[in-house]
Amino acid sequence: MEDTALDGISLDYRKDILDIMDRARRGHLPSALSSVEIIRVLYEDVLRVDPQNPLWPDRDRFILSKGHGCLALYVALARKGFFPRQELYGFCEFGAMLGGHPEYMKAPGVEASTGSLGHGLSVGIGIALSARLDGRAFRTFALLSDGECDEGSVWEAAMCASKHRLTNLTAIVDYNKMQCYGETCEVMDLEPFAEKWRSFGFAVKEVDGHDVAGLGRVFRSVPFDAERPSVVICHTLKGKGIHSIEHNANWHHKSKISDEEMNTLYRELGAPR
């Protein structure tokens, strides 16, 4: 994957995420940074949603199956107007709206309580099937992590989606090649990844997961096949935008972050603290 340059909006997203981390001093920072552009493009250009009516029955559904990457989702929801930006800065505080994983019916715009990996695609299948049964035209998107695809439940769900020919369902994989304690190729090699999804009955496209224009073209073209569910494999870099934590498993999750570390994160992003 090329070292895709980040535009001003993507840098603003990352600055917002760092501001949250600066207050909370905990979270899954690299996992959020790898999915910023994916989530940004969905909420800016693709999803039919209404922040003033977050339970609108005909809205598109987005499920963040990789719930640990929730900081990117929270920033997107706040920017879209689902809740006041001030809520971002209570992240992980006792009684706050926004926790370390998204919670359905607690934060407006969150469609499922996630973070127990391997379940988001199955939830998406249920929602997509309900749309078909109810005669509704909304679409369902589920964003998975690559490490999550080690779970057998993902592939059971894939078989189910294929069986029911759920063209209103799109799986998205944040393929950053890292999981909690090492590279995916060492922990559980997923390759040939695209061919696996094809063999399970999905129509597949691959894209640079930090290329905003490319992501928009791919997401707007779903479904890719009139008879099959779709999957978009997004090639990303874990920790994208902050050099010292890129592709660095030591930063997968932090529960204590020092002032010096925060200064380094802001400096490498090129943003004022």
Interval 44-93: pLDDT, tens = 999 999 999 999 999 999 999 999 999 999 999 999 999 999 999 999 99
Pairing, β 178-179 against β 182-183? antiparallel
> Distance (Å, rounded) from C-alpha 56 to C-alpha 62?
13
pLDDT confidence tier of residue 2, bands split at 50, 70 and 90: low
Interval 113-166: pLDDT, tens = 998 999 999 999 999 999 999 999 999 999 999 999 999 999 999 999 999 999
pLDDT attached to residue 181: 86
The answer to whether 258 and 30 are in contact (CB under 8 A) is no
For 36, the 3-state DSSP assignment is helix
**Does residue 43 have a pLDDT over 90?**
yes
**Does residue 182 have a pLDDT over 70?**
yes
pLDDT attached to residue 3: 82
pLDDT attached to residue 115: 87
The pLDDT mean for the chain works out to: 96
> Distance (Å, rounded) from C-alpha 273 to C-alpha 267?
8
* CB neighbour class for 227 (10 Å; exposed up to 12, middle 13-18, buried from 19): exposed
Record: fold of 8-269: Rossmann fold (3.40.50)
Interval 225-268: pLDDT, tens = 999 999 999 999 999 999 999 999 899 998 899 999 999 999 99
**Does residue 1 have a pLDDT over 80?**
no
Domain residue spans of the chain: 8-269
